Amino acid sequence: MVVEDNQTGITKYKIGLASFLIGSSYLNNIDIVNIAKSNLIDFANKMNATTFMAVLDENMVTYIYKYESENSIITTANVGTRKSLHCAALGKAMLAYKSEVEINKLIEELAEVRQRGYAKDDRENTLQQIAVAAPLFDHEGHVVAAISCVGFYESSIDLDDLGLLIKDVGKQISYKLGYNPQ
């Protein structure tokens, strides 16, 4: 789990390969990733972008899947990355479907995200990146994760058009998870 690093003459400790293997086996056993993977790959390739899936973990967005299309930008987020909820489109998409008590304790634009069905990140983390995200619902109608599409900012890109597309992909995956809006 932990290994010694003596290369600099000072003993340091770092996470070992066993930690990675345990983490990887966890990700491989999450059915939601396997269910959503083909939709996320298809969407990323169609948009020449990067797609992600994340879950909420102790009020942080934790990325559990990433796919970069051949022509996408290189993003700094990787599987295992954690971000604050309020400045990630993924976080907003999941927060928008929390209970009313939880929502009242939290921040900005969540009612609008819930109404639209997708969240937007218009260069809130970096000046070069935009993102849209949509929630994934399980068979009981609970949000279990979210997916996103990230790309370079271009004035010609309409985030609402892109948001409707990611919302549709989210619905397709949710239906595979047994979600029925009725």
Q: What is the pLDDT of residue 3?
A: 74
Q: What is the pLDDT of residue 106?
A: 74
Both tokens of 98, joined, read: 């929390």
Looking only at the bridges linking them, the beta strands covering 129-137 and 119-122 are antiparallel
Judged on CB neighbours under 10 Å (0-12, 13-18, 19+), 135 is buried
Q: What is the pLDDT of residue 74?
A: 67
Nearest to 43 by CA among 129, 153, 164: 164
Cα 124 from chain centroid (whole Å): 15
Q: Which residues of the chain have pLDDT under 70?
A: 7, 17-18, 20-30, 73-74, 76, 107
Q: What is the pLDDT of residue 139?
A: 92
Within 8 A by CB and 6+ apart from 20, the residues are none
48-72, pLDDT tens digit by residue? Answer: 999 999 988 877 888 889 999 987 7
